[in-house]
């Protein structure tokens, strides 16, 4: 790990991403050990959460640690007091910070003003814990990662960007189908490209979902309207209307392709009514693997 924090997939070298998947798989099989005994974490959530909050709380407790949940109303990050002040107070009182924020910059400020690890539990730019869990899920279902093709259909958002970086890190090809104006941000795309050059994988953008999913091993989608984008709802429903993952689109993928979604899923929008229950769906394995991936990340950060 590059530094003391885990804010994006880019904090791990491509080799370290692979090692993290192996470590998560091992911890899932053999248990975690109580490596966080006596450690207390602040869990800052500016936005709602089911999977991330529960999996972090469960994982930290499994490893012998404890956590304090702090909602937006509790601390008013950047509103009631500046992020840098919150950071310096928490630095004196707890052993680690897990934070879900609106602006990725808030995470960077927390990281800059603490000596303890800060972990990204989702920002507008990245969701690296999700991406590590997702690669673990793909590995479990496919038995290997080499040469697999991952197709993401929808918004070039935090989920898509971190997944692109993670796929490129482990040598999987990644294609996103998104409207032209909703592509993955340049800074994230450039990092994914750099990694793809190292692992000799391919990173591509397509405008049309059918092109992206052709012969794919994995078809992935996420909400069209992320938390914080509610005012753009009408426009986004219109722009993304051709980007639904449904049974018809899946026909273009490989016959044994898996369907993935980080959830919450909006049936009738980015996914058809039946996709979560489709035989190809592995969405609940994904949800469970958040726990194992994060346990591996915590173990890496706190075993040094």
Residues that bind ligand NVA (CB under 6 A): 122, 157-159, 222-223, 226-227, 262
Answer for the pair 195, 235: CB distance below 8 angstroms, yes or no. Answer: no
**In the complex, what is the shortest distance from the CB of residue 147 to ligand NVA, in angstroms, rounded to a whole number?**
28
**In the complex, what is the shortest distance from the CB of residue 46 to ligand NVA, in angstroms, rounded to a whole number?**
11
Residue among 21 and 223 whose Cβ is closer to ligand NVA: 223
Length, in residues, of the chain: 304
Answer for the pair 163, 194: CB distance below 8 angstroms, yes or no. Answer: no
**In the complex, what is the shortest distance from the CB of residue 50 to ligand NVA, in angstroms, rounded to a whole number?**
9
Residue among 5 and 222 whose Cβ is closer to ligand NVA: 222
**In the complex, what is the shortest distance from the CB of residue 123 to ligand NVA, in angstroms, rounded to a whole number?**
8
**In the complex, what is the shortest distance from the CB of residue 122 to ligand NVA, in angstroms, rounded to a whole number?**
6
Residue among 21 and 163 whose Cβ is closer to ligand NVA: 163
Distance of CA 145 to the CA centre of its chain: 18
Distance of CA 14 to the CA centre of its chain: 16
**In the complex, what is the shortest distance from the CB of residue 224 to ligand NVA, in angstroms, rounded to a whole number?**
9
**In the complex, what is the shortest distance from the CB of residue 158 to ligand NVA, in angstroms, rounded to a whole number?**
5
Residue among 51 and 113 whose Cβ is closer to ligand NVA: 51
Answer for the pair 72, 15: CB distance below 8 angstroms, yes or no. Answer: no
Residue among 94 and 135 whose Cβ is closer to ligand NVA: 135
Whole-Å CA distances, 134 to 282, 291, 304: 10, 11, 25
Question: 66-102: b or e for each residue (b if 16 or more CB lie within 10 Å)?
Answer: ebeebebeebebbeeeebeebbeebbeebbbbbbbbb
Distance of CA 142 to the CA centre of its chain: 19
How many other CB atoms sit within 10 Å of the CB of residue 234? Answer: 9
Whole-Å CA distances, 294 to 54, 119, 128, 201: 11, 10, 10, 25
Residue among 32 and 221 whose Cβ is closer to ligand NVA: 221
Helix (H) or strand (E) holding 191: helix 186-199
Residue among 124 and 300 whose Cβ is closer to ligand NVA: 124
Q: Which residue is nearest to ligand NVA (CB)?
A: 226
């Amino acid at each position: 790990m590059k530094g003391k924090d885990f804010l994006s997939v880019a904090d791990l070298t491509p080799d370290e991403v692979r090692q993290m998947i192996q470590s998560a798989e091992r911890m899932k099989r053999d248990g975690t050990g109580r490596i966080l005994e006596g450690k207390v974490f602040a869990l800052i959530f500016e936005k709602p959460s089911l999977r991330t909050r529960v999996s972090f709380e469960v994982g930290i407790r499994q490893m012998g640690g404890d956590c304090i949940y702090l909602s937006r109303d509790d601390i008013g990050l950047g509103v009631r007091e500046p992020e840098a002040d919150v950071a310096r107070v928490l630095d004196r009182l707890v052993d680690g910070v897990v934070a879900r924020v609106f602006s990725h910059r808030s995470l960077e400020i927390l990281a800059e003003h603490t000596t303890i690890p800060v972990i990204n539990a989702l920002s507008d730019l990245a969701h690296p814990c999700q991406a590590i869990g997702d690669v673990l899920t793909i590995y479990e279902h496919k038995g290997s990662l080499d040469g697999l093709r991952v197709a993401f259909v929808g918004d070039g958002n935090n989920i898509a960007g971190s997944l692109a970086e993670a796929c490129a890190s482990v040598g999987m090809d990644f294609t996103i189908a998104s409207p032209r104006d909703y592509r993955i941000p340049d800074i994230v795309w450039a990092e994914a490209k750099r990694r793809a050059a190292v692992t000799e994988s391919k990173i591509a953008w397509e405008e049309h979902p059918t092109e992206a999913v052709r012969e794919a091993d994995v078809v992935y989608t996420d909400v069209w309207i992320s938390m914080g984008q509610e005012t753009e709802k009408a426009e986004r429903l219109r722009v993304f209307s051709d980007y639904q993952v449904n049974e018809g689109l899946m026909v273009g993928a490989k016959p044994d392709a898996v369907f993935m979604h980080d959830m919450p899923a909006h049936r009738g929008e980015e996914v058809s009514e039946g996709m979560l229950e489709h035989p190809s769906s592995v969405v609940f394995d994904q949800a469970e693997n958040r726990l194992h991936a994060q346990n591996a990340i915590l173990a890496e950060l706190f075993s040094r």
